[in-house]
Structure 1
Amino acid sequence: MRRVWPLTVRGTGAVVLAVACFIVAGEAGLVELMYFGILLIAVVAASVASLYLGRRTETVTRSLVPDVASVGGESRVSVRVEVRTALPTAPGTWHDTLPKGLRGTAEGAFPALGSGLRAGERGGVRSIDLVYTVTGARRGVHPIGPLTVRSSDPFGLARRTVVFHHRTPVTVAPAVIDLAPLIDYAGATGGLLHTTTDQLGQGADNLVARPYAPGDSMRRIHWRATAHRDELMVRQEEQESTPEATVVLDRAALRWSPEALRAPGVDPGFEAGVSACVSAVARLVHDGYAVEVLDSEGNVLVERIDGGDMTEVDAMLVRFATVTAQRDDALPRLGRQFAGISTGPVVLVVGRLDPADAVALGSIAHHSTLPVLLSTSPVGDSLDIAADHGWHVAAIQADRDLALPWANAIGRGVHHVVG
């Protein structure tokens, strides 16, 4: 899309002056003024022609590094503009439109181009690379664009504004906070973070080894036997088990705000809850737990992520970029999902927590080796009631660092954040 009027204030003034010269020349019979007016018109026309005949943009493409932005994290945006030109073009400026979900300065100088034919490019096509940095401000999927390029002739008489409406969607994932590890809870969570060894004698040398089979863990390789037999051998007696954990995000809208239903990134409290959820998952997976992520209705938000698989954690962040609240409230019935089972750590992230909710959730703590309850809006003594039932509790806020409440929760049980 181009601006209708192609002249600057200076160019418009030149046209007005030329018209005045024509009028005065006709009235006073001054041929010199007529020539001067014609010269001004010719210069303005040449300026317009140099802008509108010398360049045609073919495509605009964008790429991000990393390709998924995160709230509070920086991404490098590269914009490639392919220009077809047979004539030299004037320099100008460019501006890329950023959505509310991204912050940054997306503007700069657009370079002048020489003749594409002279340079020997195929078809006169030239590529221009523009680079800028953005910071994620709001979770969700946000489009970058359109790109606006403004250029002017060397005399400043004419201008050309072209808007390229191609938009590039950018995924902004929730922020992941680095949380304290649960290594100290290896025994408390079932002793599953390391393997156990049944020895036949007093030393490790008495272990019976067998040939390696597909599917055996590399951690079970018996290196001494491997070196002796010249083939991979594994410890027969070593038993491995996979630690498991569950992270639950309560999505009931009545516990957050109505805005949490509309779109991601709108309700600060819900954003704090989502960030706490994905941060807990990242911490548990990093510590070696196989983690399942549910909502309070039991719906699987993310399929089971094996311990140490941080690639799947990154994929989870993309899914959580668009998670919103829902109308149903199943939190009081959450305990039924854990009835009759015993599991490892359970991290529950909720919005408003009433004393009645704390009582209803009390039974879950008895089925988990490490129950952690995080609330953005605890009411009254609800956290104390939950702690009395065995929960490790903490109140979290959108404008506070999650790391400290988490550390206090897993370390001492109860931690109140004073607003």
Structure 2
Amino acid sequence: MGAGAPYGAGGQVRDPGGLRASLAGLTTRGRSFLAAGTAAAGCAYVLGQGQLLRVGLLLVVLPLICVLTLHRTRHRVTADRRLTPPRVPAGGEARVQLRLENVSRIPTGLLMLQDRVPYVLGPRPRFVLDRVEAGGRREVSYRVRSDLRGRYPLGPLQLRLTDPFGLVELTRSFSAYDTLTVVPRTEPLPPVRMTGEANGYGEGTRRSLALAGDDDVIPRTYRRGDDLRRVHWRSTARYGELMVRREETPQRSKATVLLDTRGGAYEGAGPDSAFEWAVSAAASTVLHVLEQGFSVRLLTDTGDSVPGEGAGGFSSGGQESAEAAGLMMDTLAVVGHSQGSGLARACEAVRGAGAGLGSGGDGLLVAFFGDLDDVQTEMAARMRQRSAGAVAFVLDSATWAGEPSRVEERLRRLRDAGWTALAVPPGAAFADLWRQAGNAPVSTGTTPGGLV
């Protein structure tokens, strides 16, 4: 449910049992009334005291009436939940609104609401409602916040009903729940010149089409509903029927964002760990290249791509790009360490003919690597061969631990293979590294590209 959406269907409370379960909700006071009433009725029968019998019956009937009333009332109380927004960045807040409605003809007694939330979102919210009149509504709200990305269930909502005398207390649960998605933090990236823009896309393409003139236009037969301003009169005279110009569709540049998720490639955990930095940077890159008009796919070391396998796994334009962005952000919200120890599958996905970066080695590859040994460095170097431009951000565990490392040797080998390779120091601002990558000298085998 997005912001401004109607309340979700909370439904009525579930009935875990019949009257027998409701009788189990008698409080100590209610059970004492029953015991005292039963004893008074027994004594009245033995002693022949009619007045005492009436008192005993009253003490017995009152708790039973309260049980029947609450048993019926909990069927006539409905609740809904509204989550705004359903997707927030790590550290952001979401608001949860609860609406309770009494659809019966009698008012309720004291009500206590408790919504179940994971401990990482904060303590369980509790609300006490004194009385809800017949047909009345009550709304309460609370906020949730998490510094850890992930998907967190909210609910089910628990409702505790009590009668005015405190004789019965029933706890019931609603069946509906919602899911809060906490996506990685992202930061805006500066537009810099990178390699990898496809030929035939952007401003240069429009100039080429304009210079080509009408002689290069491929017409087609007029169809009902076509704009008459697109009629190509020269072709119409040639073929003897109404012809219109085809709409030119520029080729979209492609970009692959590769995230190394190998468990052995990172050390440490928590919001400030190297792996969380890589996930956040990958999310920032995905959003940035989508905004620049690229077709994008998210790839991991397991070889799995997002948004899917269609069209090589790359996103499409228009509304589909927004949907692909949401899908990739949802994937990054829950991505964890893989069990793999190498980059072979990712290399196959990048170099494969069916999942390549485009014909003729066209496309941009942005990779976020953890620790690289000699074998994995060679594997990463081979990925560069099928892309027009490649940028690597290497997060070395020794560097993040403040210890001497061989990351410079790995970077040199990647640069020799044509990568623009940068080491990531602890706590570095990704926007600064992105700008540094754009200002770096063009690596061997690359050609200047467009604005990214």
- Residue 311 (structure 1) aligned with residue 316 (structure 2): no
Which amino acid letter does the alignment assign opposite residue 371 of structure 2? Answer: R
Deviations 1:221-278 (A, max 9, x none): x9xx77999xx98799x8833211111122333324799xxxxx99955444333333
The answer to whether the 8 A contact 2:371-2:396 is kept is yes
Distance 1:330 1:186, change over 3 A: closer
Which aligned pairs between 1:16-415 and structure 2 lie closer than 5 A?
A: 45=63, 48=66, 52=70, 55-57=73-75, 60-81=79-100, 83-100=102-119, 102-103=121-122, 106-110=125-129, 112-116=131-135, 129-154=139-164, 157-158=166-167, 160-164=169-173, 166-170=175-179, 172-181=181-190, 183-185=191-193, 189=197, 192-197=201-206, 207-208=213-214, 240-256=250-266, 269-302=274-307, 303-307=313-317, 309-331=321-343, 334-335=346-347, 337-338=350-351, 342-354=361-373, 357-365=376-384, 367-379=386-398, 380-383=405-408, 385-386=410-411, 388-389=415-416, 390-395=419-424, 402-412=430-440
The answer to whether the 8 A contact 2:193-2:439 is kept is no
Which amino acid letter does the alignment assign opposite residue 310 of structure 1? Answer: A
SS in 1 for 2:371: strand
Segments of 5+ residues of structure 1 without an aligned counterpart are 23-30, 117-125, 215-221, 260-264, 414-419
TM-score by length of 1: 0.66
Q: Which moved more, 1:347-356 or 1:279-288?
A: 347-356
Distance 1:375 1:113, change over 3 A: same
Question: How far, CA to CA, are the matches of 1:211 and 1:111 in structure 2?
Answer: 75
SS in 2 for 1:87: coil
1:195: Cα distance to partner? 3.7
Deviations 1:141-192 (A, max 9, x none): 433223222344556x4462413052525152532503314x4316774664
Distance 1:158 1:376, change over 3 A: farther
Segments of 5+ residues of structure 2 without an aligned counterpart are 1-15, 41-48, 222-226, 234-242, 308-312, 354-359, 399-404, 442-452
Q: Which has the higher contact order (CA 8 A, sep 6+)?
A: 2
Q: Specify which structure has the higher proportion of strand.
A: 1
The answer to whether the 8 A contact 2:96-2:143 is kept is yes
Q: Which residue of 1 aligns with 2:446?
A: none
Aligned length: 374
Distance 1:50 1:256, change over 3 A: same
SS in 1 for 2:96: strand
1:13: Cα distance to partner? 12
Q: Which residue of 2 aligns with 1:416?
A: none
1:331: Cα distance to partner? 1.4
SS in 2 for 1:178: coil
The answer to whether the 8 A contact 2:157-2:177 is kept is no
Question: How far, CA to CA, are the matches of 1:141 and 1:239 in structure 2?
Answer: 38
Distance 1:213 1:77, change over 3 A: farther
SS in 2 for 1:57: coil
1:137: Cα distance to partner? 4.7
Distance 1:290 1:383, change over 3 A: farther
Question: How far, CA to CA, are the matches of 1:88 and 1:298 in structure 2?
Answer: 59
SS in 1 for 2:365: strand
Which amino acid letter does the alignment assign opposite residue 193 of structure 2? Answer: Y
TM-score by length of 2: 0.62
1:401: Cα distance to partner? 5.4
1:291: Cα distance to partner? 1.3
